[in-house]
């Protein structure tokens, strides 16, 4: 109600003289606040002075504010003081607000925050590294709980020339929307972390063809991501980043020094072409066969690589036919299939007419002997005797306590940042296991090839030989009738002894 404009009081006697302002009129005391009119406090605006010259004649008086609380506008006052008032925090952060940016972003010693925390989490008894650091506050040394500042020693790895070049290539591709990333022949020894990650967000740009627009000017803007890492010196793909590129369609790793392909390749479900020829591989991950069977992978080049021959590594079981013309002198083996004594040559079955479906798909040729590992992942010496399913140790799918605690350790924050020297501070017994957990974190967890569970310590492994000839020639032609098979070794690992093939057959 206070805000309402009061009505003018009812005046008993009409004022004889209107020269006086109503405020001077003693006879009529208003019960409420006196009414205000626009001309009230300006004496010169009375009726008598109607024609009197007004100060600043010729110009209309300018008022500011509401009509009852009006002020004469001060021409000297600038609107500029508005700007000073703006200093309050609007809550909207602008890129140009440098003052705020400095304080809110973590400073560079933030990279050290996690390490101390990790150390106390992993081993509460181990003395914190902080105490070794030269302390700025000698007095606080007595108080063990105070967090002492650590000298900031943060140096990124010195970027080598080839990494700079690779980064430039990737930035160029991102800028131009080029989905063919050529990192070939630049002597790359490893893929630095963070190099390939931006490619996740690669988007193609529409082409700016001048009119007339031809039919082939229309194309999909979905990137057909191709990465060529051929002719480098890569020894491992330890960075799991490349396997985070879900849209990767073509990957060439030809002519490198790779010893193995990580199981994490399974994540590249869109992969269509893979070339791993001219490396140092003696086995392929089982997950690769999964990609061939279930995924999009249509063109897989594996040869040449130093794969062992099927005879050298030995087989426990054959799953296919053999070249009948060669095995005249075959002996009956304990298996249900006929196995020639020396150098069996597996071949595809004879067919006539339209190639059957399995002329296109990978064929299981043979299974190698199972190697069992103990709870720490060491190969058991007497593995042949363990091949019988019923042993003194029951085959259980339940993970060992070591496995359970390693899974918890591998989920700790910062475990992948652990350096080798920090690793040595752990008790000697568990160093190999913790380094295994670190590797798992860096490369992504392995999955049991039978039950698909993630695990850290593999308990059994064996080689399965599969023929992938149609995929090797890019699905251009099926196997011909009676074609000799050239099987590739795929390594299978399992999380428990209950997952090895003999036990699996029972289920």
Partner 1 sequence: MADSIQSEFVTLVSCDGFEFIIPRSAACISGTIRRMLDPTSKFSEALSGRCVLENITGIVLEKVCEYFMYNEKHKDQANVADMEIQAELCLELLMAADYLDT
- Residue from 191, 406, 436, 460 in contact with partner 1 (CB under 8 A): 406
Q: Which of these segments, 272-280, 334-342, 402-410, 463-471, binds partner 1 (CB under 8 A)? A: 402-410
Q: Which is nearer to partner 1, 350 or 454 (CB)?
A: 454
Q: Which of these segments, 175-183, 204-212, 327-335, 407-415, binds partner 1 (CB under 8 A)? A: 407-415
Which of 424, 425, 377, 428 is CA-nearest to residue 403? 377
CB 344 to partner 1: min, Å: 35
CB 411 to partner 1: min, Å: 8
> Which pair of tokens denotes residue 490?
């795929």
401 binds partner 1 per the rule CB under 8 A: yes
Binding mask 111-150 for partner 1 (x = CB under 8 A): ----------xxxx--------------------------
CB 406 to partner 1: min, Å: 7
Binding mask 255-274 for partner 1 (x = CB under 8 A): --------------------
Q: CA 67 to CA 475: how far, in whole Å? A: 87
Q: Which is nearer to partner 1, 410 or 469 (CB)?
A: 410
Q: Which of these segments, 77-85, 140-148, 151-159, 390-398, binds partner 1 (CB under 8 A)? A: 390-398
**Near partner 1 in 212-231, by CB under 8 A:** none
Q: Which is nearer to partner 1, 152 or 404 (CB)?
A: 404
**Near partner 1 in 428-487, by CB under 8 A:** 429-430, 433-434, 451, 453
Q: Which is nearer to partner 1, 213 or 408 (CB)?
A: 408
- Scanning 22-97, the segments in alpha helix (DSSP H) are 81-85
Q: Which is nearer to partner 1, 282 or 422 (CB)?
A: 422
Which of 258, 256, 240 is CA-nearest to residue 195? 240
User: How big is the site for partner 1, counted in residues (CB under 8 A)?
Assistant: 30
CB 450 to partner 1: min, Å: 10
423 binds partner 1 per the rule CB under 8 A: no
Own/partner contacts of 443-446, CB < 8 Å, gap of 24 or more, are 443/238, 443/240, 443/262, 443/263, 443/264, 444/240, 444/243, 444/262, 444/263, 444/264, 444/267, 445/410, 446/263, 446/493
The DSSP result for 169-202, as a single string, is HHHHHHHHT--EEE-TTS---S--TTSSGGGGG-
- Residue from 426, 435, 481, 501 in contact with partner 1 (CB under 8 A): 426
- The answer to whether 283 and 449 have CB atoms below 8 angstroms apart is no
- Residue from 400, 417, 439, 481 in contact with partner 1 (CB under 8 A): 400
Q: List all residues 6 or more positions away from 504 whose beta carbon is below 8 Å from its beta carbon.
A: 450
Distances (CA, A) of 334 to 216, 386, 422: 62, 19, 53
- The answer to whether 475 and 299 have CB atoms below 8 angstroms apart is yes
Q: CA 383 to CA 370: how far, in whole Å? A: 8
Phi-psi region of 343 (alpha: psi -120 to 50; beta: other; left: phi over 0): left
Q: CA 431 to CA 123: how far, in whole Å? A: 13
- Residue from 59, 328, 394, 420 in contact with partner 1 (CB under 8 A): 394
Cross-strand bridge partners of residue 53: none
The DSSP result for 394-429, as a single string, is ---SSPPHHHHHHHHHHTSTTGGG--HHHHTTS-GG
Q: Which of these segments, 40-48, 162-170, 383-391, 404-412, binds partner 1 (CB under 8 A)? A: 404-412
- The answer to whether 368 and 501 have CB atoms below 8 angstroms apart is no
398 binds partner 1 per the rule CB under 8 A: yes
Beta pairing, strands 446-447 & 71-72: unpaired
- Residue from 203, 427, 473, 474 in contact with partner 1 (CB under 8 A): 427
Q: Which is nearer to partner 1, 199 or 433 (CB)?
A: 433
Q: CA 428 to CA 423: how far, in whole Å? A: 9
424 binds partner 1 per the rule CB under 8 A: no
- Residue from 54, 397, 445, 472 in contact with partner 1 (CB under 8 A): 397
380 binds partner 1 per the rule CB under 8 A: no
The residues of the shown chain that bind partner 1, judged by CB under 8 A, are 121-124, 375, 394, 396-402, 404-409, 411-412, 426-427, 429-430, 433-434, 451, 453, 507
């Amino acid at each position: 109600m206070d805000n309402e404009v009061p009505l003018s009081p009812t005046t008993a006697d009409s004022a004889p003289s209107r020269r006086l302002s109503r405020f001077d009129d003693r006879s009529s005391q208003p019960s409420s606040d006196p009414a205000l009119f626009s001309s009230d406090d300006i004496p010169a605006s009375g009726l008598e002075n109607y024609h009197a010259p007004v100060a600043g004649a010729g110009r209309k008086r300018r008022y500011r504010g509401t009509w009852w609380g009006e002020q004469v506008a001060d021409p000297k006052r600038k609107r500029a003081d508005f700007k000073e008032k703006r200093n309050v925090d609007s809550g909207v952060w602008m890129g140009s607000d440098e003052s705020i940016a400095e304080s809110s972003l973590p400073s560079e010693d933030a990279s050290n925050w996690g390490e101390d925390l990790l150390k106390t989490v992993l081993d509460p008894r181990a003395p914190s590294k902080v105490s070794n650091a030269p302390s700025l506050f000698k007095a606080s040394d007595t108080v063990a709980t105070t967090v002492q500042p650590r000298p900031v020693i943060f140096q990124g790895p010195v970027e080598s020339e080839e990494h700079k070049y690779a980064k430039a290539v990737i930035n160029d591709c991102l800028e131009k929307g080029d989905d063919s990333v050529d990192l070939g022949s630049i002597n790359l020894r490893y893929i630095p972390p963070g190099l390939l990650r931006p490619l996740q967000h690669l988007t193609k740009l529409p082409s700016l063809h001048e009119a007339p627009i031809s039919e082939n000017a229309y194309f999909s803007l979905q990137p057909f991501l191709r990465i060529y890492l051929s002719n480098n010196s890569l020894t491992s793909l330890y960075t799991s980043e490349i396997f985070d590129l879900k849209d990767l369609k073509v990957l060439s790793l030809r002519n490198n020094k790779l010893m193995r392909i990580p199981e994490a390749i399974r994540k590249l479900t869109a992969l269509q072409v893979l070339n791993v020829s001219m490396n140092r591989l003696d086995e392929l991950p089982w997950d690769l066969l999964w990609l061939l069977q279930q995924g999009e992978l249509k063109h897989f080049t594996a040869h040449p690589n130093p794969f062992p021959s099927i005879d050298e590594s030995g087989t426990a079981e054959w799953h296919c036919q053999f070249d009948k013309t060669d095995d005249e002198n075959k002996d009956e083996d304990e298996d249900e299939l006929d196995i020639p004594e020396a150098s069996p040559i597996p071949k595809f079955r004879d067919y006539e007419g339209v190639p059957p479906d399995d002329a296109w798909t990978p064929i299981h040729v043979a299974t190698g002997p199972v190697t069992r590992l103990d709870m720490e992942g060491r190969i058991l010496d007497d593995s042949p005797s363990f091949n019988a399913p019923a042993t003194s140790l029951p085959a259980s799918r339940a993970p060992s306590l070591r496995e359970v605690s390693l899974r918890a350790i591998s989920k700790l924050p910062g475990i992948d940042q652990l350096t080798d020297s920090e690793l040595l501070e752990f008790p000697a017994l568990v160093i190999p296991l913790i380094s295994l957990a670190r590797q798992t974190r860096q490369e992504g967890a392995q999955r049991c090839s039978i039950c698909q569970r993630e695990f850290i310590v593999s308990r059994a492994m064996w080689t399965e030989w599969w023929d992938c000839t149609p995929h090797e020639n890019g699905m251009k032609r099926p196997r011909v009738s009676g074609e000799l098979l050239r099987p590739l070794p795929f390594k299978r690992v399992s999380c428990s002894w209950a997952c090895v093939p003999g036990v699996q057959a029972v289920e």
